[in-house]
Amino acid sequence: MAVPVIQEFVASDGYRLQGRVWLPDAVPSRGTLVVLHGIQSHSGWYEYSCGRLCDAGYEVCFYDRRGSGLNAIERGHAPHWQRLVQDVVQLLTEVGYRRQQAEQPGPVVLQAMSWGAKLAAVVAAERPDLIDGLALLYPGIKAVVKPTAFQKLQLKLAAQLGISSKRVPIPLNDPALFTGEKTGQDFIRADPLALHDVTVSFLLANRELDRRADQAAEQIHCPTLCLLAGRDQIIDNPATEAYFQRIAAQQKQLIRYPAARHTLEFEPNRAQIVADYLDWLDEPGSS
């Protein structure tokens, strides 16, 4: 199975994003997947699926979000929601330019897991010219756990007082929320790169992304795939299915895995899940 190389991408504000890139042997590749991870995870969680996708001929560009995974600077921080969007836009622009220069005809697909899906939805709505398809895996656009009225008030007060650097724990400390598989739970529990807290500034960016992601559905027109885990304890599946129905794309497909628990990467049938994804990549259609 293909293995990644660690590469660096410099954002427009000078932040050096580290990530894993899988490069297929075949040239030209069948397409490029630009991948966004969840709030706690990083590219190292997804080496199996990315390796399989690369073996199938796809280039996989998976840079960790600033302050996450391989990126140790300003851990768990984001200065603004627009900065997070701009990081993705800049990367997609670079990928598109590079493919054009190399005369590579394959599509550019924006793939996002969990929390990353809200960022992907905003980018897909605001910059449709940069992508040919959108893959939302157990998307975190509609979550089970929501902030209470008191927590919302605390966040509002912190913003008013300018307490942007205060750190807040991410309420996902139990690996069983991500997977029912012991090997996956042990991996998550021992992962030194997993993110466990974020700044108030990140939460303010997250709040705005929530609002904009919800509004984005009617502005997404590219072929769209959504994969849902039936036993997900993080994502609100009924609300997510309702959101998916609002997506304006004529070509869209929803696949459910009834026995799965959130992070499909750790499921025992992950080979079939990757095969289903590859089928969609080969010919994205409507269900």
Whether the pTM exceeds 0.85: the reply is yes
Cis ω on the peptide bond leading into residue 28 (within 30° of 0)? yes
- For 84, 122, 157, 158, the CA distances from 166, given in Å and listed in that order, are 19, 26, 12, 9
| Separation CA 22–CA 25 (nearest Å) | 10
| Short-list 184, 201, 195, CA closest to 261 | 184
Q: Which amino acid is at 125?
A: A
Each residue's pLDDT expressed in tens, for the chain with a length of 287 residues = 999 999 999 999 999 999 999 999 988 899 999 999 999 999 999 999 999 999 999 999 999 999 999 999 999 999 999 999 999 999 999 999 999 988 888 999 999 999 999 999 999 999 999 999 999 999 999 998 766 665 666 677 677 667 788 888 898 989 999 999 999 999 999 999 999 999 999 999 999 999 999 999 999 999 999 999 999 999 999 999 999 999 999 999 999 999 999 999 999 999 999 999 999 999 854 33
- 197 close to 167: Cβ distance less than 8 angstroms: yes
**Residue 5 amino acid letter:** V
Amino acid identity of residue 246, one-letter, is: R
pLDDT of 161 = 63
pLDDT reported for residue 103 = 87
At residue 286, the pLDDT reads: 39
3-state secondary structure of 87: helix
Q: Can you give the pLDDT at residue 99?
A: 92
| CA separation, residue 279 to residues 43, 122, 253 (Å) | 23, 25, 11
- pLDDT at res. 160: 64
* Nearest one of 17, 16, 27, 20 to 6, comparing CA atoms: 20
